[in-house]
Structure 1
Amino acid sequence: MSKRNVLITGCSSGIGQALAQGFANQGDAVIATARKPESMANLAALGCRTLALDVNDAQSRQQLADQLSGQTIDILVHNAGISAMGPLLELPEDKLRGQFETNVIAPVLLTRALFPLMRGSSAPLIVNIGSVSGILATPFAGAYCASKAALHAISDAMRMELAPFGFQVTTVQPGAIQSNFGAAATANVTAWLADNSLYAAIRDGILARAGASQVNATPAEDFADELVRQLSAGRAPRETRIGHGSRTLPALKRWLPGARLDRVLSGKFGLDKLTK
């Protein structure tokens, strides 16, 4: 297989960093991006090109495109993402808007900025890192689940719209993958959840959902190795699910009656303990 130019967002840690290592280890040329390039020192030592990118900033996106002018990008991996956990009606507006800016709007706008560089590839591929949370919505993760469901829909539309130009689009729906995602989500919701919240009595349930992504989580390196393998074995998959729970949770959504599923999830995160 010939060497490919792979650009990945959100490479400061977790899935992004593991993917950068995985592609680099098999000989691909990796452009790793994050808001703070110093967070990618280990990737630079591995031979990756590390560049600053704030996916939500138009100037930063254009600067990246300008830096790469004249080059070809074969694979674009939209991995950068955040999780705004907590009750929907109490979630601060800036958190709600930021959830969609980062997880939904930024991938579209970055693809737009880098599209001219991808058209030069003989087999351009866009990889959107979604989540099984975009399939199975849970209490206290409504904004995050909705953002990933939206990204899945964007992937489907993008796949059809770009097919005439030779592009492939792969939607990745990870299960629980080891990262600092849970810790960041927990710290975030702890910072704003008020003592007089409607859900104060089940605060532990909210925090449990914030950290749920790290329960029996699959090592990021194992996830990355499997995804890199799939993206390097001929035609890329339309959709793939990797990691702990990536099969079980969608199956629950598909086969468990809706009312029963609501009761199960409500009980898991303590909503059954609240009274009117």
Structure 2
Amino acid sequence: MSDKKIVLVTGCAKGGIGYEYCKAFAEQNCHVVASDISQRMDDLLELQEQQIETLELDVLSDISVSSAVKAIILKHGKIDVLINNAGIGSTGPLAELSLDEIKKAYEINTLGQLRMVQHVMPSMASRRSGVIVNVGSVVGKVPTPWAGSYCASKAAVHSISHTLRLELKPFGVNVVLVIPGAIRSSLGSHNTGSLSHYDWKLYKDFSDAIAERARASQVGKSTDASLFARHVVNKVLSPKPPKQIVFGHMTSLFAILSFSPLWVRDLFFTKRFGVDKKV
């Protein structure tokens, strides 16, 4: 069994935060296993050049997750840290966005994380050691217009993480909830690209506002993904990992909004995302 910490990261395609997590953990002398779905494995080739192991893993599949986790434990004897990073954006008005799209966000962003936990926990429990890091979002606490399905999927991650933190404590496993603000990554371009499939009917007059929400986290002073990843990794590898890591552009604003009266929050988002347009 390796003396190095074995770290499994999901959702590691180039351009995303997961890719940067892998590099940041490797810099801390951890043995990193970077994973993603088969269609994106080419994105991980440069990580291999940095002595980072790569592995195909689909968080939607019990078979894929089970196979990947067993392979890592067979090879390395353990998994010390699981970074539940795999996720997708989901943009569009809830009254018109297809239920299939909403379901997909839940299945990847929420159930995908829980599936990973259920497959990794037996090994961690047997060793009475481990850290599980679930990636939420500031919008999991303060939801915004035009991204309700994404916000709800991340709110569920928050609830699950707070429950797991208590339920896994008897086994010596720490649960850390990461709450990113606006982090510069490929998420914005993916969000914008997915909108091309939609021809809004009720909300056709709001198309520009919806597109603005899709790229909102990627404009202005968004935090660099590598800076964000290093901050998270340093906290996760500390002797006593924190229960929550809140970091990134706009986290202070969302903290204020979370304590504000609903009319203040509604007024802010109405103006920010063009919900005040008359139809």
Contact 1:129–1:172, Cα closer than 8 Å, also in 2:
yes
- Establish whether residue 3 from structure 1 lines up as the match of residue 8 from structure 2: no
CA distance in 1: counterparts of 2:66 and 2:199, whole angstroms: 36
The residue aligned with 2:206 is: 202
Counterpart among 241, 250, 255 of residue 250 in structure 1: 255
Q: Deviations over 1:162-217 (max 9, x none)?
A: 100001000000001111101101111231233xx222112111000011110221
**SS at structure 1 position matched to 2:185:** coil
Contact 2:8–2:34, Cα closer than 8 Å, also in 1:
yes
What number of residue pairs does the alignment pair up? 271
For normalisation by structure 2, the TM-score amounts to 0.93
The residue aligned with 1:48 is: 52
Structure 1 residue ranges (4+ consecutive) displaced by more than 6 angstroms after TM superposition: none
The residue aligned with 1:106 is: 112
Q: Deviations over 1:24-82 (max 9, x none)?
A: 01100001101132210111111111000111112211221232243200000100001
The CA RMSD measured in Å over matched residues stands at 1.3
CA distance in 1: counterparts of 2:26 and 2:73, whole angstroms: 22
**SS at structure 1 position matched to 2:191:** helix
Q: Percent identity?
A: 37
Contact 1:241–1:247, Cα closer than 8 Å, also in 2:
no
Contact 2:73–2:79, Cα closer than 8 Å, also in 1:
no
- Establish whether residue 29 from structure 1 lines up as the match of residue 31 from structure 2: yes
TM superposition shift of 1:22: 0.3
The residue aligned with 1:15 is: 17
Structure 2: 5+ residue runs without aligned partners? none
TM superposition shift of 1:122: 5.4
**Range 245-254 or range 11-20, more displaced:** 245-254
The residue aligned with 1:217 is: 222
**SS at structure 1 position matched to 2:54:** strand
Q: Deviations over 1:116-171 (max 9, x none)?
A: 23235453000001100101111001000011010000001001111000010000
**SS at structure 2 position matched to 1:201:** helix
Q: Deviations over 1:87-141 (max 9, x none)?
A: 0011111101001000111111111112223235453000001100101111001
The residue aligned with 1:262 is: 266
CA distance in 1: counterparts of 2:64 and 2:164, whole angstroms: 23
Counterpart among 172, 182, 193 of residue 176 in structure 1: 182
For normalisation by structure 1, the TM-score amounts to 0.94
CA distance in 1: counterparts of 2:176 and 2:26, whole angstroms: 20
Contact 2:136–2:158, Cα closer than 8 Å, also in 1:
yes
Contact 2:128–2:171, Cα closer than 8 Å, also in 1:
no
CA distance in 1: counterparts of 2:193 and 2:57, whole angstroms: 24
The residue aligned with 1:229 is: 234
Contact 2:129–2:173, Cα closer than 8 Å, also in 1:
yes
